Amino acid sequence: MKLYLISNRFKSLTNPKVLLPRLSRALFYTNDTTPLRYDLYDRIDPVRDQSVSIVPVLDQWLKEGRNATKDDLIYIINTLRFYKRFRHALEISQWMTEQRYIPFSALDVAARLDLIAKVHGLEQAEKYFDTISMQFKKFPVYNDLLHSYASAKSIEKAEALMQQMKQLGFARSPASYNVLLNLYSKVGQYDKLETLLEEMKENGVRANKLTMSIQMAAYAANSNIDGMEKILQSMEVNPEIIMDWKSYATAAKGYIKVGLIEKALQMLKSLEKLIVGKQGRVAYDFLLTMYAGASSSKEDLYRIWKLYKSSEKLNNTSFLSMISSLLELDDIDGAEKILKEWESEHTYFDFRVPNLLIAAYCKNGHLEKAEKLINMTIEKGEKPFLSSWDHLATSYVEANQFPKALKALESAFLARWPKWTPNCDTLSACLEYLKQQGDAEKTEEFVRLLGAPGHMSTDDIERLLDYIYIHNAEAEVGMVKEVDDIKSSDNGETVEIANEAT
């Protein structure tokens, strides 16, 4: 036995998707063969494109005379699942039995069923379930299929499977009930949720913390404040339940939804006390959002921000939460200060951060500030979002600055981002402006830009051009008619008509 230390290859360690599994190695004693699993994972990890098979990597591993035990492969499967690389995880699962003939347990079968559902859909998962021999059709397998039905919000199938599980004696714990309760909560079928809770009591199935959390979230979503408060109180006095910040977060959202701001703020204060050490990035982000949503004072936001910085290493998401929360309270000056802080501290550029200010500037008519911020990012070699140009164009139209609006839209079109279309009202206003200018060449050039891949279909472009040409033609006919009338009047041919009219 020996302690397997983390590799000192700096390049690999700079990759966050490699760092987590690497760090875990230093915490466990392993036998001499265990390090092979990490070498194999190091070969699999760079194949990020899930349309590319990793089976050749596994086959090459064996050709080199290296071993791959079941524990090694299960470790890699679980790591890939953690990073949502489900297709590659499924490939290893299938390779284990098809190429290595490694025997499976009921837990392994359940894991494969879940992977099949995620990669190929419910129908294929059901087909696989039908092929599983009875020796493996245990609770984990049924429960994973139930999870798959719930994820797909397939209520009838989930209920039918739950009935089978009851008949087989697999519904003696709250685990399967919680899956169905959560499904009912998500789809808003609160009557069924109450019925299932009553059934649990009748069958002697004791509710656990997850059961009560689901119940409280359902009451909060349904604005059943009395029910939500009763569940929260019962959790607080239950010695078997350790309260965490998420329970108070659920209550805070429920209070805010019905406008009970003071009670919501009390929940947020209770939440703060449960954030200990370096566990709270998600909690702090939630707090910032909730304090802003509760129209709390700016002092609350800055207090949480100070706590945030003292206990967490800030990332771009942290700054996004703080800036958006300040903007929710119309504190543009404060948001600008946080932006400067981000500019001095960010590890990599994320245009979402300045884009929040750009949108706020446009909304409040500060177009010069929006222009300046966009130009600054461009000078740094960054590309603005299409939404940035869209915000600018819309604001320019509202300010009657059509040349600038056209330029902003053109910048967006030239970026050629797929599946993007501009604000319809803004586009219509710009086209109408071009039509009024009578510049057919400029109009056609602009409309052709709309035909860049991903913007508008060829048929839509042709119809738009036809519309413009027809209106231009009508305008020209009208102008010719006016000239002819004037000429006729000059020749005395209409004098008689004029006299008659007089």
Which bin fits 276, alpha (ψ -120 to 50), beta or left (φ > 0)? beta
pLDDT confidence band for 33 (50 / 70 / 90):
very low
- Give the model confidence (pLDDT) of 292-347 as tens digits: 877 767 888 888 888 888 877 888 888 999 999 999 989 999 999 999 999 888 76
Using pLDDT thresholds of 50, 70 and 90, give the confidence band for residue 123. Answer: very high
Among 159-163, 261-265, 347-351, the range with the most confident prediction by mean pLDDT is 159-163
Query: Of 63-72, 128-137, 486-495, where does the model show the most confidence?
Result: 128-137
Section 66-85 average pLDDT? 91
- For the segment 459-465, the average pLDDT, to the nearest whole number, is 54
Reference 334, options 309, 302, 286; nearest CA is 302
pLDDT digits (tens, 9 = 90+) for 389-434: 889 999 999 999 988 988 888 888 777 666 667 777 888 888 788 8
Instruction: Kindly write down the DSSP assignment for every residue of 158-174, as one continuous string.
Output: HHHHHHHHHHTT--SSH
pLDDT digits (tens, 9 = 90+) for 373-391: 998 888 888 888 888 888 9
29 or 189, greater pLDDT = 189
Model pLDDT for residues 178-199, shown as the tens digit of each residue: 999 999 999 999 999 999 999 9
d(C-alpha 452, C-alpha 61), whole Å: 46
Q: Whole-angstrom Cα distance, residue 117 to residue 124?
A: 7
Percentage of the chain modeled with pLDDT above 90 = 44
User: Domain residues of the chain, as ranges?
Assistant: 276-348, 377-475
What does 2-69 look like in DSSP terms, one character per residue? Answer: EE-PPP--HHHHT-HHHHHHHHHHTTSEE-TTTHHHHHHHHHHTT---TTS-SHHHHHHHHHTT----
